[in-house]
Amino acid sequence: MQICQCFIIMSYTIESIVEKTGARRLGNKPATIDWLLTDSRSLCFPEETLFFAIPTKRNNGARYIPDLYERGVRNFVVTSEDFKGLTMDSEQLKVTMAQECNFLIVPNTLKALQKLSEQHRGSFQIPVIGITGSNGKTIVKEWLHQLLSPDRVIVRSPRSYNSQIGVPLSVWQMNEESELGIFEAGISEMGEMRPLQNMIKPTIGILTNIGGAHQENFFSLQEKCMEKLSLFKDCDVVIYNGDNEMISNCVGKSMLTAREIAWSMKDIERPLYISRVEKREDHTVISYRYLEMDNTFCIPFIDDASIENSLNCLAACLYLMVPADQITERMARLEPVAMRLEVKDGKNNCILINDSYNSDLASLDIALDFLYRRSQSKGLKRTLILSDILETGQSTTTLYRKVAQLVHSRGIEKIIGVGAEISSCASKFDIEKYFFPDTKALLASDVIKKLKNEIILIKGSRNFSFDLVSEELELKVHETILEVNLGAMVANLNHYRSMLKPETKMVCMVKASAYGAGSYEIAKTLQEHHADYLAVAVADEGSDLRKAGITASIIIMDPELTAFKTMFDYKLEPEVYNFHLLDALIKAAEKEGITNFPIHVKLDTGMHRLGFEEKDIPQLIRRLKNQNAVIPRSVFSHFVGSDSPQFDAFTRQQIERYEHMSTELQEAFPHKILRHICNTAGIERFPGAQFDMVRLGIGLYGISPIDNSVINNVSTLKTTILQIRDVAEEDTVGYSRKGHLVRPSRIAAIPIGYADGLNRHLGCGHGYCLVNGKKAPYVGNICMDVCMIDVTDIDCREGDQAVIFGDELPITVLSDTLDTIPYEVLTGISTRVKRVYYQD
Ligand SMILES: *Cc1c(COP(=O)(O)O)cnc(C)c1O
């Protein structure tokens, strides 16, 4: 999850913050704080910002203080060690900083942030709903907002800000106008709920469900459930699924004093009895009995998760005494919750960022921040298309003054406003601007046709139908796309990081277009998450990344002799595996007058592919010592079979050889040479072989090389049905009459073939795709651009989606069928398949 953004709050004086956090203050500059910042990249209003230097496993926010100071920030929360570190070299600096800044010294900066948030929460007496559970938290929160906001001013977590940092920032948004709070709490290990409980202090608790997500740090599901329930310690009421035995047992054991509204489809004795759930074509009819009264409502969804989410919402509405007829009316209008920012290619070299999430200031800020980060060095103009923001509790002028400030601070160059309110505040924006009374007027205008070379954030409130705007601007492509979930990739990165010692560095492998996922967006995201190195195969992949603005260190695994100049120009650090390459490289560098260009020395410890051997080391040392054009930055080797116990003895032998050879090299040089040997499987299976760095590949893309299990699925390959026809039993389908039928069949054609990377061996019933969640086998030979699938037993129409692989159909099912490895299937998806990125 992307956390740590900039948050608007009620104004506090620095004195009152000192008092609330119990901090020791150095400096006495008067200040008023409107914004909290934990991620330096999100800075927008330096003067009114208070920066919390929060340490993470591998980084410390304090590192960014000098940069923030340069950019005008003057208020910082730090530990005394942080402060010592900052002023270590200069007594003078200490004096200057104390004159110009306020440093609030605390023992623990995260705790200080949380304490502040607790105190802030303590000054409000309003009801607060706290939501926890494994899935559905954000949807339940957003639906409750949809159901309850007509009658009250609600403050809620933006997106899924539910972590140790996300919660304090969310709670911080409470102000005098707030009448109800709705906050999510997410945990991934024992003991994390307590601080969240202290900040949220819910009066109404909802447990959505308990599943396997984030299970790795818990002993059992039950333990996780008990930890989650501790959020409800002081609640007046707790809402949960009474049919879930484990949850019911845990609630029984947890000795909560709260009233319980357990809902049940089986037990009429439960406080909320669900007497009927009837799925129709596109909606579900639900009847319930509560306090002796029977009522019915519909929701415009038919999946089980939506039904469960709606029942949790129902219980909360009933408890808050929303009249039954209003519940019925509002349930029928529930809107799906799109929780992601979509990045798509638009016409005329535009990039579209589609934020179909609700529109409010906090989520506008997040989206603008996202846009700003994407725009850097792409040379595209930054444009915002924004509708009226339907946020209660602020006057139009105040609201749009804040919008204008945000727009200005995030470097937006053009605004297109849609709606009466934003139009009435046109004068507040002093950039290129256009205003329209409604979406129709915008679509009819020239302004939309003239968008060109721009990166455009499209953000509209629901009733403005901005999907029409993005549809108009989207580049229409081949209907087959590879969807890449950047959030899942980050989760995988963190999953593997959690297996490393904090000081172990990481190379992220983005070779072969990031295993097929597309290098730029992946590299960009990895860079944002502080990957130490990126590695690509050839120099051109590296220079493309540089041209697109990637500044992280890049290793070239396969440096061609013809590409040295490119490598020097773009500071791409080559792997060097033999003397021929080394000599040529040194010569080329000397010719350019380059010194100390970093190289990565590869050793052969058993793969017998590329690399120096043991007997080469003394000569290698001599050759390197004899010049100063290049310098060994790292020394590494590669495992042959670290994924399989069958080769463990060999792997250990490789480690031993590597240890020996790399030590010999290191001892010949005074500077530190980074050592690394582990790939993904090595990280998991040989934690003792981390050395200084590891190289993460396939795991980043969601696949565990050990058992082919999927960690967090990143890529989904999907397409749409072009045509459906009935074919008689005696007929055949496709080339060479290979598609034989055993009954009269419905056959669908989809626009994906072997030229897109759909392996021909999946044809003739060997493989299948999913249509509306059901298996549709490939019928007959797969063609170059199209193939046919059997949908006889599937309720589907032309235009429906077919998933080739994805969340429900793991790519490993395909690679197993094809008797190959997932790497090959992933990297085989051809470049003509459009990559579409999104972020949860
Ligand atoms: C591709 C590659 C990796 C990553 O391997 P995974 O199995 O995908 O983790 C590591 N090191 C080298 C040298 C590679 O070429």
Give dist(CA 397, CA 422) in Å, integer.
9
Is the pLDDT at 74 greater than 50? The verdict is: yes
Residue 392 pLDDT exceeds 60: no
Give pLDDT, residue 393.
63
Please tell me the predicted confidence (pLDDT) of residue 10: 67
194 labelled as ligand-binding?
Answer: no
- Which of 534, 577, 638, 644 most suits a substitution to test ligand 1, by most atoms within 8 Å of the C-beta? 638
- Return the pLDDT at 36: 87
For residue 670, CA distances in Å to 505, 586, 631, 633 come to: 20, 20, 11, 12
CA–CA separation, 10 and 290 (whole Å): 40
More confident residue, 40 or 2: 40
Answer yes or no: is the C-beta of 509 below 6 A from any ligand 1 atom. Answer: yes
- pLDDT higher at 593 or 312: 312
Q: Which of 60-74, 209-223, 563-577 has the highest mean predicted lDDT (pLDDT)?
A: 563-577
In angstroms, what is the span from residue 805 Cα to ligand 1's centroid?
23
pLDDT score, position 838: 83
Percent of the chain with pLDDT over 90: 69
Helix (H, G, I), strand (E, B) or coil at 747: strand
Q: Is 697 in the pocket of ligand 1 (CB under 6 A)?
A: yes
Are 510 and 534 contacting, i.e. CB atoms less than 8 angstroms apart?
yes
822 lines ligand 1 (CB under 6 A): no
Distance from chain centroid for Cα 756: 27
For the segment 553-577, the average pLDDT, to the nearest whole number, is 94
Identity of residue 357: Y
Q: Are strands 693-696 and 505-509 parallel, antiparallel or unpaired?
A: parallel
Q: How remote is the CA of residue 377 from the centroid of ligand 1, in Å?
A: 30
Residue 557 Cβ < 6 Å to ligand 1:
yes
pLDDT at 434: 96
**Across 209-223, 261-275, 277-291, 540-554, least confident range:** 209-223
Beta bridge partners of 129: 182, 204
* pLDDT of 7 strictly over 60: no
555-570 mean pLDDT = 94
Q: What is the mean pLDDT of residues 546-572?
A: 92
pLDDT of residue 1: 25
Q: Is 452 a catalytic residue?
A: no
Is the pLDDT confidence value at 516 over 90? yes
Strand, coil or helix: 523? helix
Question: Could you identify the atom of ligand 1 that is nearest to the CA of residue 696?
Answer: 9
Where residue 5 falls among pLDDT bands split at 50, 70, 90?
A: very low
In the chain, the amino acid numbered 335 is E
pLDDT band at 182 (very low <50, low <70, confident <90, very high): very high
pLDDT tens by residue, 317-343: 999 999 999 999 999 999 877 656 778
Whether residue 51 is predicted with pLDDT greater than 80 in this model: the reply is yes
Q: Which of 2-16, 57-71, 448-462 ranks highest by mean pLDDT?
A: 448-462
- Largest pairwise CA distance in the chain: 92
Is pLDDT above 80 for 94? no
205, 239 contact by CB (below 8 A): yes
Under the banding of pLDDT at 50, 70 and 90, the label for residue 3 is very low
Q: How confident is the model at residue 344 (pLDDT cuts 50, 70, 90)?
A: confident
Half-sphere exposure of 462 (CA within 13 A, CB side): 10
pLDDT, one tens digit per residue, over 20-46 is: 999 999 988 899 998 889 988 777 778
Check whether 711 has a pLDDT greater than 50. Answer: yes
Catalytic residue among 233, 459, 511, 718: 511
Which ligand 1 atom minimizes the distance to the CA of 511?
1
What average pLDDT does this structure show over 358-373?
78
Per-residue pLDDT for 360 more than 80? no
- At CB < 8 A and 24+ separation, what contacts does 709-712 make? 709/812, 710/810, 710/811, 710/812, 711/491, 711/492, 711/495, 712/485, 712/488, 712/489, 712/491, 712/492, 712/495
253 is catalytic: no
3 state DSSP class of 51: strand
Encode pLDDT of 76-88 as tens digits.
999 999 988 887 7
Does ligand 1 have an atom closer than 6 angstroms to the CB of 695? yes
Average pLDDT score over the chain: 91
213 has pLDDT over 80? no
758: pLDDT confidence band, cut at 50, 70 and 90? very high
377: confidence class by pLDDT, cuts 50, 70, 90? low
pLDDT in tens, 157-180: 877 789 999 999 899 888 888 899
Q: Supply the pTM of this predicted model.
A: 0.62
Q: Is the pLDDT of residue 814 over 50?
A: yes
* Whether the CB of 600 sits within 6 Å of ligand 1: no
